[in-house]
A and B are shown apart, each in its own frame.
Chain A
Amino acid sequence: MSVVRPMMNRDSQFFWDGTAAGELRIPKCNACGTLRFPPGPACQACDAYDRGYQVAAGTGTVYSYVVHRHPPVPGKELPIVIALVDLDEGVRMVGEVVGVDDLEIGDRLRVDYNRIDDDLTLPVWRLSNEEGR
Chain B
Amino acid sequence: MSALSGKAAIVGIGATEFSKESGRSELQLSVQAVRAALADCGLTAADVDGLTTFTMDTSSEIAVARELGVPSLRFFSRINYGGGAACGTVQQAAMAVATGVADVVVCYRGFNERSESRFGQFSLSAATQVNTNGLDNAWSYPMGLGTPAATVAMQARRYMHEYGATSEDFGAVAVADRRHAATNPNAFFYGKPITLEDHQASRMIVDPLHLLDCCQESDGAVAIVVVSAERAKDLPQKPAYITAAAQGSGRDQYVMTSYYRDDIGIPEMGVVGTELWRQSGLGPDDMRMGILYDHFTPYVLMQLEELGFCKPGEAKDFVKDGAIEVDGRFPLNTHGGQLGEAYIHGMNGIAEGVRQIRGTSVNPVADVQHLVVTAGTGVPTSGLILSA
Q: Can you show 19 pairs from A to B with CB atoms below 8 A apart?
A: A6-B138, A7-B137, A37-B260, A64-B161, A66-B153, A67-B204, A68-B144, A68-B150, A69-B206, A70-B203, A70-B206, A71-B121, A73-B144, A73-B147, A84-B264, A91-B260, A94-B143, A105-B158, A122-B142
Q: Which residues of chain B have C-beta atoms less than 8 A from A72's C-beta?
A: 121-122
**Which residues 69-87 of A sit at the B interface, judged by CB distance below 8 A?**
69-76, 80, 82, 84
Tally of contacts, chain A with chain B, CB under 8 A: 116
List residues of B (79-136) whose CB comes within 8 Å of A's CBs. 120-122, 124, 127-130, 134-136
**Chain A minimum-CB-distance residue to B257:** A94
Query: Given A71-B122, A122-B142, 11 more contacts at CB 8 Å?
Result: A3-B142, A7-B130, A8-B135, A64-B157, A66-B206, A66-B208, A68-B144, A68-B153, A74-B122, A105-B158, A123-B143
Name A63's closest neighbour in chain B (CB-CB). B158
A46 on interface, CB distance cutoff 8 Å = no
Select the residue from B120, B121, B207, B264 with max chain A CB neighbours within 10 A: B207
C-alpha spacing A82/B204, complex, angstroms: 15
Q: Which residues of B contact A96 (CB under 8 A)?
A: 143-144
Instruction: Specify the chain A residue showing the minimal Cβ separation from B208.
Output: A66
Chain A residues contacting B161 (CB-CB under 8 Å) are: 64, 105
- In the bound complex, residues from chain B placing their C-beta under 8 Å from that of A4 are 122, 124, 127-128, 141-142, 146
Most chain B CB atoms below 10 A, which of A6, A67, A75, A96: A6
Q: A12 an interface residue at 8 Å Cβ cutoff?
A: yes
Whether a CB of chain B sits under 8 angstroms from the CB of A92 is: yes
A92 to B260, Cβ gap below 8 A? Answer: yes
Interface size class of B (residues with CB under 8 A): 35 or more
User: Could you tell me the dominant secondary structure of chain A's interface residues?
Assistant: loop
* B150 contacts A82, C-beta separation under 8 Å: yes
B138 touches A7 (CB 8 A): yes
Residue B368 is within 8 A (CB to CB) of chain A in the complex: no
Interface presence of A133 (CB below 8 A): no
How far is B142's CA from A93's CA once the two chains are assembled, in angstroms?
12
Q: How far is B213's CA from A70's CA once the two chains are assembled, in angstroms?
A: 13
CA A64 – CA B139 in complex, angstroms?
Answer: 16
Q: Does B53 contact A (CB under 8 A)?
A: no
Please report the C-alpha to C-alpha distance between residue A44 and residue B117 in the assembled complex, in whole angstroms.
37
Tell me which of A64, A91, A94, A120 contacts B140 (CB under 8 A): A94
B183-214 Cβ-contact flags toward A at 8 Å (1 or 0): 00000000000000000000111111000000
In contact, A7 and B134 (Cβ under 8 angstroms): yes
